[in-house]
């Protein structure tokens, strides 16, 4: 179960642990219940050992069925479009005009935003209660299955916390394994700061997790909703050519945030100036000038109500997806095993495997 791509446990019925209560008592003299050692509150809220919890067995089976509905039959095939999808790809949601507060210190409902952009009733969230500043979900765009990443500004401001690292990495690896394109809604202020963050080694875990997005071979669309700062912000996009970037007009980015960050980075210079306050303001204006999305985004969103159809056009509605990956002209047939794979042929799909075909 722990090795699976998705796991679910029934509340107050299922338990997962390395050693049960008798073994723990014998080894350490501790009296622990099964629920304490391996219940759903521990593994779906804290450790992330299990992704989701279920009310009963039927709910668990329904979740598994829904999870599988986004995936291909096997890793040698492409995910299929839901031909019965009735949600028009050009649907406009006027609520998107006002969903982001003008005050960038005020949070908003990222899940509500996702519901307006993605196909209606298509979102299946994975690991909601663990690594809560990072949302991971499967959904559909114009009927096509996609992986969804998003930052939740209502929890730690959406920052990249130590418990996000493994969740982030596992989800991207899963999408890459099953050839699911990724849509990333970014509001990333950076790595979480503070004593607990330092004790948990957040920066090391976060940088390691960023390798997953760099190594992924699936197409990716990144939509900058608001903040994108530091190393954690840089880890939100792929360096591959199959990557698109869009910016909400509220987006700001840079190496450091202007408020507080400029003073911290230039403290000695500011304090040595004849007029420290004026010098600080000049530096802040310089940083703000390069933070505008209209200067640096590859594509800027001019009509917010049209954002919903943009990601789908990137890698879904206009594409003819191949039904199977062609990996250096070798596709296993008649039960061929990996040992029969020609020497030098890699496991992952080639970069051009998902290019639009005319």
Asked if pLDDT for residue 232 goes beyond 50, the answer is: yes
Residue for token digits 């690991």?
127
Reported as a single tens digit per residue, the pLDDT across 153-203 is 999 999 999 999 999 999 999 999 999 999 999 999 888 889 999 999 999
- pLDDT for residue 84 is more than 60: yes
**Mean pLDDT, rounded, for 22-51:** 91
Say whether pLDDT at 130 is over 70: yes
Buried b (16+ CB within 10 A) or exposed e, 19-37: eebeebeeeeeeebeeeeb
pLDDT of residue 335: 44
On the question of pLDDT at 5 being above 90, the answer is: yes
Give buried/exposed letters for 73-108 (b at 16+ CB in 10 A, else e): eeebbbbbbbeebebebeebbeebeebbeeeeeeeb
Q: Are residues 262 and 280 in contact, defined by beta-carbon separation less than 8 angstroms?
A: yes
Q: What gap in Å lies between CA 311 and CA 332, rounded to an integer?
A: 32
145 vs 53: CA distance, rounded Å: 23
CB of 91 closer than 8 Å to CB of 83: no
Say whether 227 sits in a helix, a strand or coil: strand
| Tokens at 163, concatenated | 């418990």
Token pair, residue 280, equals 């600080």
pLDDT at 230: 80
- Model pLDDT, residue 64: 96
> Across the strands, what pairs with 252?
227
Residues 333 and 338: their CA atoms lie apart, in Å, by: 11
For residue 147, give Cα distances in angstroms to 170, 285, 292, 311.
Answer: 12, 37, 28, 12
pLDDT-derived band of residue 342, with 50, 70 and 90 as boundaries?
very low
> Could you give the angle at the alpha carbon of 219 between the alpha carbons of 218 and 224, nearest 5°?
125
Least confident piece of the model among 170-184, 189-203, 319-333, 343-357:
343-357
Which pair of tokens denotes residue 33?
Answer: 């219940």
> What's the pLDDT score for residue 270?
86
Q: Residue 241 — pLDDT band, cuts 50, 70, 90?
A: low
Residues whose CB falls within 8 Å of the CB of residue 303, separated by 6 or more in sequence, listed in order? none
Which contiguous run of DSSP H or E holds residue 191? none
**4-13, 20-29, 175-184, 318-327: which range is least confident on average?**
318-327
What mean pLDDT is predicted for residues 303-309?
A: 51
The Cβ of residue 326 has, within 10 Å, a number of other Cβ atoms equal to 13
pLDDT at residue 308 in the model: 57
Instruction: Give me Rg for the CA atoms of the chain.
Output: 23
Question: Residue 343: pLDDT above 50?
Answer: no
Comparison of pLDDT for 154 and 229, the residue scoring more: 154
* Residue 261, pLDDT score: 76
pLDDT recorded at residue 294:
65
What confidence score (pLDDT) does residue 146 get? Answer: 95
pLDDT value at residue 91: 80
SS3 296: helix
179, 218 in Cβ contact below 8 A?
yes
Mean pLDDT of the chain: 80
Q: What is the pLDDT of residues 87-127, one digit of tens each?
A: 877 788 888 888 999 888 899 999 999 999 999 999 999 99
For the segment 207-228, the average pLDDT, to the nearest whole number, is: 88
What is the Cα–Cα distance from 228 to 252, expressed in whole angstroms?
6
Q: Which domains does the chain have, with CATH numbers?
A: 1-18+28-69 (no CATH), 81-251+297-358 (3.90.226.10)
CB contact set of 254 (below 8 Å; sequence gap of 6+): 229, 287, 290, 291
The confidence score (pLDDT) of residue 350 equals 33
Please give the C-alpha separations between residue 209 and each of 35, 221, 265, in angstroms, as whole numbers: 30, 19, 26
User: Of 52-56, 81-85, 116-120, which gets the smallest average pLDDT?
Assistant: 81-85
Q: Which residues contact 170 (CB under 8 A, 6 or more apart)?
A: none
pLDDT over 70, % of the chain: 80
Tell me: pLDDT of 82 over 50.
Answer: yes
pLDDT reported for residue 333: 45
Percent of the chain with pLDDT over 90: 41
């Amino acid at each position: 179960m722990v090795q699976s791509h998705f796991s679910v446990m029934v509340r107050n019925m299922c338990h997962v642990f390395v050693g049960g209560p008798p073994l723990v008592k014998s080894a350490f003299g501790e009296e622990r219940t099964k629920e304490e050692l391996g219940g759903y509150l521990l593994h779906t809220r804290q450790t992330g050992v299990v992704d989701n919890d279920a009310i009963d067995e039927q709910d668990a089976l329904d979740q598994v069925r829904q999870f599988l509905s986004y995936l291909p039959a096997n890793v040698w095939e492409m995910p299929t479009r839901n031909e019965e999808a009735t949600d028009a790809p050009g649907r406009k949601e006027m609520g998107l005009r006002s969903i982001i507060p003008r005050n960038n210190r005020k949070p908003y409902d990222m899940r509500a935003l996702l519901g307006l952009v993605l196909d209606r009733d298509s979102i299946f969230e994975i690991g909601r209660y663990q690594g809560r500043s990072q949302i991971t979900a499967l959904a559909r765009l114009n009927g096509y299955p996609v992986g969804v990443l998003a930052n939740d500004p209502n929890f730690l401001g959406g920052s990249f916390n130590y418990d996000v690292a493994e969740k982030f990495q596992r989800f991207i690896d899963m999408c890459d394994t099953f050839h699911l394109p990724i849509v990333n809604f970014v509001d990333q202020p950076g790595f979480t700061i503070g004593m607990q963050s330092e004790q948990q080694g957040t920066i090391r875990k976060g940088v390691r997790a960023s390798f997953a997005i760099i190594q992924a071979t699936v197409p990716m669309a990144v939509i900058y909703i608001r903040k994108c700062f530091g190393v954690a912000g840089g880890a939100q996009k792929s360096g591959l050519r199959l990557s698109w970037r869009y910016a909400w007009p509220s987006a700001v980015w840079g190496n450091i945030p202007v408020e507080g960050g400029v003073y911290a980075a230039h403290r000695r210079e500011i304090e040595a100036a004849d007029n420290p306050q004026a010098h600080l303001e000049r530096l802040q204006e310089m940083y703000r000038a390069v933070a505008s999305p209209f200067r640096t985004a590859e594509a800027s969103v001019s009509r917010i109500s049209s954002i919903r159809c943009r990601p789908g056009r990137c890698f879904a509605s206009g594409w003819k997806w191949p039904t199977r990956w062609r990996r250096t002209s070798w596709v296993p047939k008649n039960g061929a095993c990996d040992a029969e794979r020609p020497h030098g042929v890699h496991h992952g799909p080639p970069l051009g495997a998902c290019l639009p075909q005319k």
